[in-house]
Structure 1
Amino acid sequence: MSKLFTPLELRGMTLANRIVVSPMCQYSAERGEATDWHMIHLGHLALSGAAMLCIEATAVEPDGRITPGDLGLWDDATEAALKPVIEAIRRHSPIRVAMQISHAGRKASSHVPWEGGQLIPVAEGGWLPHAPSALPHKDDETPPLALDTAGLNRVRDAFVATARRAARLGIDAIELHAAHGYLLHQFLSPIANQRTDEYGGSRENRMRFPLEVFDAVRAEFPADRPVGVRVSATDWVEGGWTPDDTVAFAQELERRGADWIDISSGGVSPLQKIALGPGYQVQFARKVKAETGLPTMAVGLITEALQAEQILEDGDADMIAMARAMLYDPRWPWHAAAQLGATVKAPPQYWRSQPRDQKNLFGETTLGQR
């Protein structure tokens, strides 16, 4: 039996297979509110056959948006805009729906990628970002504001409020974004965090605020629904966050009840030097899984069914999270199931699409004909 298509239990949630649609920023919201783009984008990915769909990085407050087009969940309007999208998915797909909740920190107030992705100055409609320390992401940028005690409390409370709204929307799971150079990763990395209080200095101190946020979110989100964390396993910069640091952080998260670790890398510095190649981040998932026992997601240039199957068979990870490959081929799970001799869920409206030599791809189906 294909490992990729075996079920997995995470707290009170059962995944039908090990394929996860990664959160992918769309930069297409209006004032943080989901639009018809999200209905189309998330709707078609919900029919992919993956076990879980993770909604893009969702800002917990307006100042926490990467761009003005970021999705948010911080007030009644942003919650109301997401509600019909979630309801449509529920009507037509059995997929589990997760949400990645995030704060951009010093990488906030940026142009969308197709407009260059650079910092938007306040004079041009941007805003002054907040961060652990008054250190800009790039040397030529305006420094962010260092978060004081009131700011830390505000951000922590914003994560909790977003988790509460996500639960009310019926979201099945939450992924806390502590990767890719955003706020919680900024606290972890000595490159971005040069505080001299209890939230800076030693690794233990730098982990303190992200762990406080995790504890607060875990306490607010329903106990039977899982909460995972996405991390950058390495900064790919000398003197930055390392894989050993990631293991230490994951061990603390495990003690606090984390349900998975989603292993990515980089993002905190433009000086990063990433060694790209197929499955280049799997090594980090393998290390965290071996040294903590926590369920892990592998992500990063995993594009082939046999490649994904081998990662799971080797015990390097428990789930395969896919982003760009899923956008390029939104029916990737169907094709993987056909290649690996497995079955996958599909809506009955699509049952007739099965190839003639794959008549059981969607399991036992009954097709009438007039």
Structure 2
Amino acid sequence: MSYLLKPLQIGNLTLSNRLVMPPMATARSKEDGGVSQEILDYYDEKSRGGYISLIIIEHSFISQEGKASKNQLSVADDSVIEGLKKLSEVIHKNGSKTIMQINHAGSAATEEVTGKTPVGPSAVSNPRKGTIPHELNKDEIKGIVKAFGDAARRVKEAGFDGVEIHSAHGYFLNQFLSPLTNKRTDEYGGNIHNRIRIHLEVIKAVRESVGEDFPVFLRLGASDYREGGTTIEDSIIASKEFERAGVDVIDVSGGFCGYVIPGNSEQGYFSPLTEAIKKEVSIPVILTGGITDAKAAERLLEEGKADLIGVGRAIYNNSNWAKEAIESLR
């Protein structure tokens, strides 16, 4: 049997195959972050036929100060739950499972979008944005940890099959993870165990909000591919701690390099990261990055590089990609 077509059980979540649509920002939400007809139509089209076993909804802001961009989806207050229910229902009706990615932009936010001063672990320039944030105190950190927990509860109430915590692409949690932006000298800075302290607090808050039987994923910017940034050695330690803390799946991507590796366009370019992490954890690992061909996806699974394959741009550009890929392997 094809590796891509094998089902996978994650707690009480049954995936029909190993194909995942990773979170990709669409800027199709209402201005206030509410679910629009345009966003319902988009996910309806992508999930049709249920060929993609799991659709991860684009990063959604947990609080106004953490909003990354205009027309970003919101999970910031209870008023959005009804709209989000429609979104989960559209995808379920088509036969796919779906989880939501929750995020705070930290120093990647702009005052123009949020109306507030950007915040971060340290008052140092964001390598991707150039903004210098307000350095958070411990009470402010607690407030953001609570906002992640509250957002996860809303995701569950809206009928999704799980939730993904975003710590990649240079956003808030990634800013604590990376030595490029975390220069703190308290218990939230310094060695890797201190730099992931906030992650463990977020995981705990999310778990307490959703209970033990609701799948929790974490998207990890496993390397910055920059001098002085996060390394795979850091991320192996982090992934083991996340598993111990109750994370069900590690979804690997880039850190401050974003979702690309400069100068590398091979299919599955993050596979050295996923392979290294997969050897050290017993939970499933998702690989994304430049995969456009079903045979490449099949080969990466066969070689043990990952347990699930995320195909982003190819599905974004062609809504029939998953159908064609799966039929080609049957």
Once residues 268 and 328 of structure 1 are traced to their aligned partners in structure 2, the CA distance between those partners, rounded to angstroms, is 22
Higher CA-based Rg: 1
CA separation of 1:140/1:316 partners in 2, compared to 1, >3 Å: closer, same or farther?
closer
Change (3 A) 1:58 1:139: closer
Partner of 1:238: 227
Deviation at 1:45, TM superposition (A): 1.2
1:174-197 deviation line (CA, Å, top 9, x unaligned): 111011100000001000000111
The equivalent residue for 2:47 is 46
In the TM superposition, residue 275 of structure 1 has moved relative to its aligned partner by 3.4
- Say yes or no: does 1:32 pair with 2:21: no
| Equivalent in the alignment of 2:142 | 153
Conserved 8 A contact 1:192-1:268:
no
Q: CA deviation at 1:263?
A: 0.9
**More displaced 10-residue stretch of structure 1: 129-138 or 247-256:** 129-138
Return 238-247 or 213-222, whichever deviates more: 213-222
Which of 32, 42, 67 matches 1:65? 67
Kept after mapping to 2: 8 A contact 1:237/1:273: no
Quote how far apart the aligned CAs of 1:126 are: 4.4
Give, in whole Å, the separation in 2 of the partners of 1:106 and 1:268: 15
Tell me which of 181, 186, 205 is aligned to 1:197.
186
Q: Work out whether 1:8 is the aligned partner of 2:8.
A: yes
TM-score (normalizing by structure 2): 0.94
Cα separation, partners in 2 of 1:314 and 1:142, compared to 1, 3 Å: closer
User: Cα gap change, 1:289/1:125 in structure 2, threshold over 3 Å: closer, same or farther?
Assistant: closer
Q: Structure 1 length as normaliser, TM-score?
A: 0.84
Q: 2:121 aligns with which of 132, 149, 152?
A: 132
Q: What residue is the counterpart of 1:97 in the other structure? A: 98
Which of 284, 294, 299 aligns to 1:295? It is 284
Note if contact 1:185-1:268 (Cα within 8 Å) is conserved in structure 2.
no
Cα drift, residue 172 of structure 1: 0.3
18-27 or 332-341: which moved more?
332-341
Contact 1:25/1:57 (CA < 8 Å) preserved in 2?
A: yes
Shift of 1:273: 4.6
Q: Which residue is 2:58 aligned to?
A: 56
What does 1:259-338 align with in structure 2 at a 5 Å threshold? Answer: 259-267=248-256, 273=262, 275-338=264-327
1:255 match? 244
Instruction: For residue 292 of structure 1, give the secondary structure of its aligned residue in structure 2.
Output: coil
Q: Cα 1:264–1:157, aligned 2, differ >3 Å: closer, same or farther?
A: same
* Aligned residues: CA RMSD: 1.9
SS of the residue corresponding to residue 236 of structure 1 reads: coil
SS at match of 2:183: coil
* One-letter amino acid of the structure 2 residue matched with residue 9 of structure 1: Q
Partner of 1:81 in structure 2?
83
Listed one character per residue, the Cα deviations across residues 101-159 of structure 1 (whole Å, up to 9, x for unaligned) are 111100012xxxxxxxxxxx55x974311111111215984421111122111101100
Q: 1:194 touches 1:201 (CA, 8 Å); kept in 2?
A: yes
Identity of aligned residues (%): 36
